[in-house]
Structure 1
Amino acid sequence: MLAAFNIKIPKNLTAAMQLLQLYMQSGHYYWISGVVARPKLHRLVVKLNAFRIARDAPGRAYDKAKGLASTHLVVCELSHGELLWVLVGTAGKGGLIDPEQIDIGTIYDSRLAGQHLRFKHYELLHTEKRIKQVRDTTWTWRIAPQRYKEHEAFIVQLIRQRDRDGLNTELVALAAMPQFSGVRGQVLKLFAETKKLGLKFRLGELAVPTLPYMTRMSIYTEPARTLDTLCETVL
């Protein structure tokens, strides 16, 4: 069995997003993603093994010293037997942007506008942060711009229709999103707009949920599940 089938699976979508954020912070800027049916996962992993996705920490340190790229595969379960996969990597020989590597599709650079890493309705971007008047930068998730506009339009529609139950359901759903700093800021803005519109349309002072703060979570179950548990092909 290929060592790649021992790659750990994040326990849920939020854990996968946290893992991708950590990879981006360590310079894995290049990416490609897709959705695959479980019966086809085995073939995909075998193909992506060309990028040395099973290298452990000492192996990756050695590769870096030799100018070789580091590439990670992240896979998580969706519904209806589908799997979302994301391949992220650094620059270097044998990596995603090496012209001598196999062609697996369009490779994006997450640092560039219009190429931010997309994960369902979220995108990961490099942004400025301030801590006690000190400027720094960080990678954070946010709701993708188009999806954010859709939530804005939906809230306006619910308020115009005076649909309090529907509005409450929407606000609870927003509060249930993974509250990475970028997402949290957007949700707070949507909540503020909701309260403002509530007064404008004479619905009174609308109550909004209290948002939790995002804390570092464990990425894997204990014991961790691995890719081989998702493969329907006998390994």
Structure 2
Amino acid sequence: MPKALSPLDLAVPRNKTALMLQLQFLVCRTGYRMWCGGVICRTKLAAFITKMAARYPITRSTRQRTYDRKRGIAVVHFMAYAVGDKVHWWLLSDAGKGGLADKSSEDARVARDAMSADGHIIFGDYVLVYATKREWREVQCPKTKKPRGFHKQTSTWTWKLRTEVMRELKHGIELCCEHLEYGSEGGNGKKAWGLRGLLATMRSRPLFSGVRSQVLELHRDARDLWKPRRPLWCERYPAHVEKYKQNAGALTPIGVVMANELPKIPRMKVYAQPPETLRGIIADVAPEVLTVVGDKNVSH
């Protein structure tokens, strides 16, 4: 028989966007809606992941999970990602026996449904929700045989900025406009600041469909609030008017932002080759902690 995988050798996503894509995929495509999670210190991760592996079949291979699913046994995934000296973790389960949906499970009382309003998965500034969005579709007209386009309302899982984060960003835009802080997008060694810097930072976020819509909303808010203040800014900085003429104090047009600066997230590999592991993120800060669990494998 092949050697059982140690829980410390579970792979870690290559970056934050890859992590968010994988969480979205698990909830959306394969139905792992029941979950629990939290944040733990790296120094406590070794003991914690060993405890989770003793409770749930998180080290099973794809073939073994298929076998478990046919027998009605829960298929469970453990996801983790290090931010500084903390590790964000999620345990996701389908509806099988022994999983988080099973009332006899040790963690059933703290399990949440990702579909429920109070059970959404959260990571930093973002929340994973089942949302409605407009998609552009094209079909061939049966009479003219020419393509005809239209918008269609569809529902899908996507990441969005949390309500509190959007509120803070809108307030930041209001302050920048109030104080005539036109600012700069940065680059070439210069720091981004002011209204333009804030908007440029928003465009650098992981542009899931939900986030992209919110970033456009923030740009529209900025456009509407800045428009009456732009003449005041031009009066205060005549040298910029002399240098940039009609473009002085102008924000990037919404159409240009939509066309050129909000690319959709491309397909990407979730894990690097070879992938980083839980063992690696522990060893980065406290290699001596690995002696807590030794190098024993956990099998199910």
CA contact (8 A) 1:195 1:205 kept: no
Within the candidate set 221, 226, 236, 1:198 is matched to: 226
Q: How many angstroms apart in 2 are the aligned matches of 1:84 and 1:191?
A: 31
Q: How many angstroms apart in 1 are the aligned matches of 2:174 and 2:103?
A: 48
Secondary structure of the residue that 1:42 maps to in structure 2? helix
Q: How many angstroms apart in 1 are the aligned matches of 2:60 and 2:216?
A: 40
2:6 is aligned to 3
Q: How many angstroms apart in 2 are the aligned matches of 1:105 and 1:168?
A: 46
**Is 2:269 the counterpart of 1:218?**
yes
CA contact (8 A) 1:71 1:88 kept: yes
State the Cα distance separating 1:60 from its structure 2 match.
Answer: 1.1
State the Cα distance separating 1:98 from its structure 2 match.
Answer: 1.8
Within the candidate set 18, 23, 27, 1:20 is matched to: 23
> Which structure 2 residue ranges, 5 or more long, are not aligned?
138-150, 184-193, 234-248, 295-300
1:35-50 aligned at under 5 Å gives the runs 35-49=39-53, 50=55
Moved over 4 A (4+): 133-136
State the Cα distance separating 1:194 from its structure 2 match.
Answer: 0.6
C-alpha spacing 1:2/1:57, structure 2 compared with 1 (3 Å):
closer
CA contact (8 A) 1:72 1:87 kept: yes
Q: How many angstroms apart in 1 are the aligned matches of 2:108 and 2:46?
A: 16
**Is 2:178 the counterpart of 1:160?**
yes
1:83 is aligned to 87
Equivalent residue letter for 2:113: D
Secondary structure of the residue that 1:230 maps to in structure 2? helix
Secondary structure of the residue that 2:131 maps to in structure 1? strand
State the Cα distance separating 1:23 from its structure 2 match.
Answer: 0.4
1:153-184 per-position Cα deviation (integer Å, ceiling 9, x unaligned): 11111111111222222112111110011101
CA contact (8 A) 2:196 2:251 kept: no
1:62 is aligned to 67
Secondary structure of the residue that 1:164 maps to in structure 2? coil
C-alpha spacing 1:205/1:17, structure 2 compared with 1 (3 Å):
same
CA contact (8 A) 1:32 1:105 kept: no
Q: How many angstroms apart in 1 are the aligned matches of 2:275 and 2:88?
A: 18
State the Cα distance separating 1:205 from its structure 2 match.
Answer: 3.3
> Which structure 1 residue ranges, 5 or more long, are not aligned?
none
Q: How many angstroms apart in 2 are the aligned matches of 1:32 and 1:68?
A: 18
Equivalent residue letter for 1:112: S
Q: What is the total number of aligned residue pairs between the two structures? A: 234
Secondary structure of the residue that 2:48 maps to in structure 1? helix
1:173-203 per-position Cα deviation (integer Å, ceiling 9, x unaligned): 1111100111011001101111111103235
Secondary structure of the residue that 1:112 maps to in structure 2? coil
Equivalent residue letter for 2:278: L
1:122 is aligned to 126
TM-score by length of 2: 0.73
Q: How many angstroms apart in 1 are the aligned matches of 2:70 and 2:154?
A: 28
Q: How many angstroms apart in 2 are the aligned matches of 1:175 and 1:183?
A: 9
State the Cα distance separating 1:143 from its structure 2 match.
Answer: 0.5
Q: How many angstroms apart in 2 are the aligned matches of 1:168 and 1:138?
A: 31
State the Cα distance separating 1:3 from its structure 2 match.
Answer: 2.4
State the Cα distance separating 1:90 from its structure 2 match.
Answer: 1.1
Secondary structure of the residue that 2:127 maps to in structure 1? strand
1:134-213 aligned at under 5 Å gives the runs 136-165=154-183, 166-202=194-230, 205-207=250-252, 210-213=261-264
1:99-120 per-position Cα deviation (integer Å, ceiling 9, x unaligned): 2222386211111112211111
Q: How many angstroms apart in 1 are the aligned matches of 2:136 and 2:212?
A: 17
Q: How many angstroms apart in 2 are the aligned matches of 1:104 and 1:119?
A: 21
C-alpha spacing 1:83/1:136, structure 2 compared with 1 (3 Å):
same
2:99 is aligned to 95
